[in-house]
Structure 1
Amino acid sequence: MYNRPWQDAWSDHMSGGDWWWMGFMTLFWIAVLVLAVWAVTRVSRALEAHHGPAAPQRESARETLDRRYVEGQIDAVTYAEMRARIEGVHRDTGPKEDP
């Protein structure tokens, strides 16, 4: 049945203790893959939390003007003039016309 006298039914490479080794290596690589996915997920969440949202909203010109008036950086006259410019309204002539 075997060509060499030292070969028998138990000497091939997948017999005896080799089966548990193959199972261990399969479980090992599955654990490595799970650990890598977990690490990437954790790092990406940490970076997102650290840096905040991807595109922060900028306040509009009107919001900036309102904030500056509330903080007392500009007076009521300046506020009214700037608001009229932002909204496209002139005091003397009414709505601004496009050229």
Structure 2
Amino acid sequence: MMYWNGGWAWVTLMPLLWIALIGLVVWAVLRLTQHSAGRHDATDDPRKAPGETPEEILDRRFASGEIDGEAYTEARKRLADHRPGPR
């Protein structure tokens, strides 16, 4: 009789352990397949180029009215001055 005092705990914990293990495997598979399918944004890997160039972002912000014409012109000039060119 002394051996069965903690038996109910194992009967309860074993199914929970298996559910957690299966959930972890499913999560890992989904996470890996999403990255291999290319469903991640540019912030996942800083070496990869973002979807928009700085000029495209500037154009979009100007078109949406976030910045005025003067700020747009100045920003375009600064971007052109800091663009690496052939040496």
TM-score (norm 2): 0.39
| Structure showing the higher strand proportion among its residues | 1
Structure with the largest fraction of helix: 2
Which structure would you say has the larger RCO, counting Cα contacts within 8 Å and 6 or more residues apart? 2
- For the pair shown, which has the larger CA radius of gyration, 1 or 2? 1
